[in-house]
Amino acid sequence: MAINEFCHRNVVCATRDTTVTEAANLMRQHHIGDVIIVETRGGKQIPIGIVTDRDIVVEVIAAGIDPRLLKLGDLRLAPLVTVDEGTSYAETVSRMSAEGVRRMPVVDELAAPLAALAGLSGRGRELETLTRKPQTRRGIA
């Protein structure tokens, strides 16, 4: 059986500009434990990340960060792992186990490659920041 027979279709989404407090309120309002972070491309929402109630508690509250000031786009989230809607239930569970995730968005065939591309720019900036040293040129830092 394909995973699309088991997944929840009415997911709650937010953008990078949503504050952590707003995301927590969405979770409370909808009685859920995660919010999918999306970008709109070509008129379609593409999942680029996921924030969970545990992420908020461990990474924000426990760290003493004000959740009203922090946006979802500011969180250092692991690359989003998705599965295509035609993937079997068994393969999905196996992949979740291998990736070490408890939640995995189910996407259509077009959304999966676009979600992977969305993550490239963020990972590219992160790698560049880690590998490049600041260059100075005559008064310019």
Residue 5: which pLDDT band, with cuts at 50, 70 and 90?
Answer: confident
Residue 17, in any domain of the structure? yes
Give the domain range for residue 8. 3-131
CA 107 – CA 84 distance, rounded (Å): 5
pLDDT in tens, 63-90: 999 999 999 999 987 788 999 999 999 9
What's 57's domain CATH number?
3.10.580.10
Q: Is residue 136 one of the residues assigned to a domain?
A: no
As given in the structure block, the two tokens for residue 75 are 């969180």
**Rounded mean pLDDT of the chain?**
83
Per-residue model confidence (pLDDT) at position 140: 47
Per the domain annotation, does 138 fall within a domain?
no
pLDDT per residue over 96-138, tens digit each?
999 999 888 898 855 445 545 555 555 555 666 565 554 444 4
Assigned domain for 55 exists: yes
Q: What is the DSSP string of 74-141?
A: GS-PPPP--EETTSBHHHHHHHHHHHT-S---EE-TTHHHHHHHHHHHHHHHHHHHHHPPPP-BTTB-
Q: How many domains are there within the chain?
A: 1
pTM assigned to the model: 0.71
Q: What is the pLDDT at residue 77?
A: 75
